[in-house]
Structure 1
Amino acid sequence: MQAIDNPVPMTDIHDIKPLEILTVDWSLLVYILGAVLILAIIGAAIYYWKKSQNRKRIPVEVPVLPHEAALRLLDALADVENMDAKAFYFSLSNILRAYIQARYGINALEMTTEELLPKIDILDINKEIHLELKALLRSTDPVKFAGVPAAVIKMRQDLAFVRNFVKQTEEKLAVG
């Protein structure tokens, strides 16, 4: 019981030290903020430079008028003698339907001939051309789908008719 009667002084416990006053080195913060600002400016400059480079690479497409496109494609079909009738009539029909679609706003490329014929009645075209156009559309299906042979002279006449149809129905642009 001796330990209780004579307390041993404690030497390893010290009193709380007062707070140390820390000084903030603001110069380091200024350097860090300056570096971040410079990197942000460089990043923005690179971003806008790349963005302007991408704009320059986009080619500008000049719109081609429907009759110009159709006449150009019809010129490619001029060599009737060396073409298969089936391929010729598929191409001719496609050119004609694409022209009707672009010129008159009828979805002719997606329609069957039987669906297209009533729509042709609505078109504002000469009665004679109207009848010939319907006859042409009716006469191309047997060649395209049933393998009915077509004479070269008939192919030339049909090509000439489609060319004439395009020229007569081309939209005249108002000048001024």
Structure 2
Amino acid sequence: MMRLLQSLFTSLFVVMISFPQNVTVTASVDSQSVSIGDWIHYSVSVKYPSSTPIGFPTFKDTIGVFEIVQQDSILKTELNGEIELKKNFIIAKYDAGNFYVQPFDVQYKDSTGKIHSALSNPIPVEIRGVEVDTSLSIKDVKPQLSVPISAEEIALYAGFVIALAGIGYGIYYYIQQKKKKAGLIVEVKPTIPPHVLALIQLDELEAKRLWQSGEIKAFYSEATEIVRRYFELRYGFIALEMTTGEVIDQLEKFKLEKNNLSSISQFLSDADLVKFAKYQPIASENEQVLGQARTIIEQTKPIDTESAKQEIQAEAVAS
């Protein structure tokens, strides 16, 4: 009887948290106990007033420790001034143990412009290992079968190897002779430091004039992608696959100054709202985006003699 009640509870397990301005996040799974590799249907619902701008997070390959097998498009409905966004995922886990589906983080702005986060509760999921039938005896591994090779096959393989070696040597000889005639000197370009590369990419983005052409979402997406990729190269964590909150948590480990962390959080959060909601920034806000990105990079770049030398070399290569 207890196992039946537990099964019914887990099948109907739904977690929900409500936040200011009636932004509600609901997450559920169809089963909290599955075998390794079994598909889990994970559903998310976000309800909020139509006047509240929100940022609906996106995922590429994983949701926390779970791999995404499939994800549907967002289904949007609106009734009596309230909007509901629904999205379904199929996720799986290939390790046995007890895990949690991480909270679904939805960011939104209140009437004063302050950023808040609405989170669903983490959902516990048990991943069962494959049971082994211990009643069966262990069988020895069968020996490999030996297949005799004929003289014709040996001659064919040898001819192929000799021909391949001859072609390779011919190509090598041709390239060397061409280098001698042209006096070619191969110059190894220095690796461009992450902050220099990011600044170059921001200049290229500015030259595209995306937001001036009406492509505002694409402009904000590229700007934040450049900054997130810079964080990956600079600090060594997968910023492109993390939510804004997860990025800030990682950056805190590197003991950045609080004002820098605050600037980064505000920059990424504002961009999320533009990319995933109906929030339309004004022209003056668009003009400040690249300046904010450059300031973030300048404030977090490494400061030492070797980095300065690399920066000079990289700028020379780029020019």
* TM-score, scaled relative to structure 2: 0.37
1:93-113: CA deviation from partner (whole Å, max 9, x where unpaired): 100100011111121011122
Q: 1:83 to 1:102 in 2, by over 3 A?
A: farther
1:48 aligns with 2:169: yes
1:66 aligns with 2:194: yes
Trace 1:1-176 onto structure 2 (pairs within 5 A): 47-51=168-172, 62-78=190-206, 79=209, 80-175=211-306
Q: 1:53 to 1:129 in 2, by over 3 A?
A: farther
Whichever residue aligns with residue 150 of structure 1, its letter is P
Instruction: Please say which structure displays the higher CA radius of gyration.
Output: 1
Q: By percentage of residues, which structure has more helix?
A: 1
Q: 1:147 to 1:103 in 2, by over 3 A?
A: same
Does the CA contact (< 8 Å) of 1:113 and 1:137 recur in 2? yes
1:44 offset after TM fit, Å? Answer: 6.4
In the alignment, the residues of structure 1 paired with residue 217 and residue 165 of structure 2 have an alpha-carbon distance, to the nearest angstrom, of 59
Q: 1:44 to 1:99 in 2, by over 3 A?
A: closer
Aligned-partner SS, 1:77: helix
CA-based RMSD of the aligned residues comes to 3.3
Whichever residue aligns with residue 77 of structure 1, its letter is L
Does the CA contact (< 8 Å) of 2:198 and 2:226 recur in 1? yes
1:47-68: CA deviation from partner (whole Å, max 9, x where unpaired): 4242455798x99665221111
Q: 1:142 to 1:44 in 2, by over 3 A?
A: closer
Whichever residue aligns with residue 169 of structure 2, its letter is Y
Does the CA contact (< 8 Å) of 1:70 and 1:99 recur in 2? yes
Aligned-partner SS, 1:161: helix
1:77 offset after TM fit, Å? Answer: 2.6
* TM-score, scaled relative to structure 1: 0.63
1:162 offset after TM fit, Å? Answer: 0.9
Greater shift, 87-96 or 126-135, is seen at 126-135
In the alignment, the residues of structure 1 paired with residue 271 and residue 165 of structure 2 have an alpha-carbon distance, to the nearest angstrom, of 61
Whichever residue aligns with residue 171 of structure 2, its letter is K
1:99-148: CA deviation from partner (whole Å, max 9, x where unpaired): 01111112101112232221122233232121111111111111101131
Does the CA contact (< 8 Å) of 1:86 and 1:147 recur in 2? no
What is aligned with 2:11? none
1:150 offset after TM fit, Å? Answer: 1.1
Q: 1:49 to 1:174 in 2, by over 3 A?
A: farther
The number of residues matched between the two structures is: 135
In the alignment, the residues of structure 2 paired with residue 170 and residue 97 of structure 1 have an alpha-carbon distance, to the nearest angstrom, of 13
In the alignment, the residues of structure 2 paired with residue 161 and residue 143 of structure 1 have an alpha-carbon distance, to the nearest angstrom, of 16
Q: By percentage of residues, which structure has more strand?
A: 2
Whichever residue aligns with residue 143 of structure 1, its letter is V
Q: 1:47 to 1:83 in 2, by over 3 A?
A: same
Does the CA contact (< 8 Å) of 2:263 and 2:296 recur in 1? no
Greater shift, 114-123 or 70-79, is seen at 114-123
Q: Percent identity?
A: 31
In the alignment, the residues of structure 1 paired with residue 291 and residue 192 of structure 2 have an alpha-carbon distance, to the nearest angstrom, of 22
